[in-house]
Structure 1
């Protein structure tokens, strides 16, 4: 529309593929220790803002002792932006992050986390953020398309600048400063937003309506 390739009255925005709100819902799990857990879920790519996540973790760890920074996602992906496994091992050896590898049950890891972080440079509508918000987790993500349509700053999480580790650390510190009830309220607001805008039933209905309109026009 901005480049005048299509008319505005002939375009519609569909909110990604949506999320199964029955599968991704709040759940209680047992976890070891009482450290505050930040969790990044993504393929291990530089473009996911992982370098900024690690640098922000260094900044926070200088001020706070009982905080963990976890990363979950595949390494060795065939992508120019792929982070070498050796680099991740270096970060682990440094003690700044803990790499969890991959899992077939991401819900458990989301449930164990206190805050989900995705400082990505660019996204489509992020499935990780949809699933995390649906599970009532407060989120820190970048103020970029595909992320800021899911997270509203101060409502269900915080938005940080792209490629800015210091700003990300500031938002992490702001999250840490909140009391537990306020973080829970953020999480509840996130699920409310998912129910209204990103329930996969709503998305599928929009797709079907669009297909029906196209068939009528042809």
Structure 2
């Protein structure tokens, strides 16, 4: 039995879905991942999956290259003869679905967040929606990670609602992201934003909010963790990051293969994003019992219950974000700990990765694969 996963980055499969990969491998499934290779390749190989490099530009708009991608995928699908293909992110969802139809293999499209095509309204975004409408006729099922994204696709007639499902995000490994001892005990409240460094993630508003908060609480620490100069129209440059660091308003932590130590030292995890699927970084922060601050944007508001496990602010509003961050400082460590504990309980109830993995196994059964029950953890 062979299952193929296709995405625009290898790290998104390795970092976001390791539990799924381990489960399928333990069940004897031949798991193949197709994506552009990056520095997570050793981790992918440790999971005992096959990795086939795929030439794919996430931000490119050259139709000839996209046509070449379809041809490549058709050729590979016919050679591999997979029993099922899962597509993630925009280009694999669109062109992979078309290729799977041409190759005669069943596929499922997983919309992990609508990103640039829905945050913006330019010609590229309109073309992307038209391509979605065409390509999403072909998957057996189309999955969404939150109800708002599902509603947008259905309302704009981009997908047949009868073939859709809404998952509770990608799930989180509760044992891996377990609460640890309290953060750094120097009296300085640390805020942490983990994301690819994109303007659409609200990084600019976070930096401006840091300026506002530090004018009142100069000892507050604002950290950024994630890659600059990524392949995205909304990318923040390394030069811009150096400017902020030189100003002294933020600490830039670069990138890491394991975020847990950095989350453990933080007092609050922040994500002022414009739109998300279900943001992994907020789930990780909540699982480690950290209070959250995020926008009332699609995806973020799925994870943060205002006043319970965190605070919500208006999107694209640095002043409102600053007010909420200042409130986190002023509530004190005991109240922050209580808020974080509520977040941990919520993640345990809603976002355990075993719930999501079982949804994958059920889908495999629906396409006719003989799948047993999930093995014990």
TM above 0.5, yes or no, is yes
Give the counterpart of 2:262 among 71, 93, 109. 109
The within-5 A match list for 1:19-38 is 19-28=172-181, 31=184, 33-38=186-191
Distance 2:161 2:339 in 1: 34
Residues 29 and 176 of structure 1: CA distance in aligned 2, closer, same or farther (over 3 Å): closer
Distance 1:22 1:147 in 2: 23
**Cα deviation digits, residues 66-117 of structure 1 (max 9, x gap):** 2000111111212221112111111111111010111122000000000001
1:206 aligns to 2:359 (yes or no): yes
Greater Cα offset, 202-211 or 158-167: 202-211
Equivalent position to 1:155, from 283, 308, 321: 308
Q: Which residue of 2 aligns with 1:66?
A: 219
State which of 179, 192, 208 in structure 2 corresponds to 1:55. 208
Q: Give the TM-score normalised by the residue count of structure 1.
A: 0.92
2:251 is equivalent to residue 94 of structure 1: no
In structure 1, C-alpha distance between the alignment counterparts of 2:367 and 2:295, rounded to whole Å = 35
Separation of aligned partners in 1, 2:349 and 2:182: 26
Give, in angstroms, the shift of residue 44 of structure 1.
Answer: 1.1
Aligned to 2:285: 132
- What is the alpha-carbon root mean square deviation over aligned residues? 1.8
Task: Compute the TM-score of the two structures, normalised by the length of structure 2.
Answer: 0.54
Question: For the pair shown, which has the larger CA radius of gyration, 1 or 2?
Answer: 2
Q: Comparing both chains, which one has the higher relative contact order based on Cα–Cα distances under 8 Å and sequence gaps of 6 or more? A: 1
On the 8 A contact 1:29/1:108 being kept in 2, the answer is no
* Regions of 4+ moved over 4 Å: 4-10, 213-216
Report how far residue 120 of structure 1 moved.
0.7
The alpha carbon displacement at 1:2 in A equals 2.9
CA distance in 2, matches of 1:164, 1:156: 21
CA distance in 1: counterparts of 2:305 and 2:162, whole angstroms: 27
CA distance in 1, matches of 2:315, 2:183: 34
**Which residue in 2 is equivalent to 1:193?**
346
Per-residue deviation, residues 19-56 of structure 1 (Å, max 9, x unmatched): 00000010127747331100111111111101100000
| Count of matched residue pairs | 216
Higher helix share: 2
Residue 278 of structure 2 aligns to a residue in which SS?
A: coil
SS at match of 2:281: helix
* Structure-2 change in CA distance of 1:157 and 1:3 (3 Å): same
Please state how far the C-alpha of 1:207 moved relative to its aligned partner: 2.9
Kindly report which structure 2 residues correspond to 1:170-185, keeping only aligned pairs within 5 A, or say none. Answer: 170-185=323-338
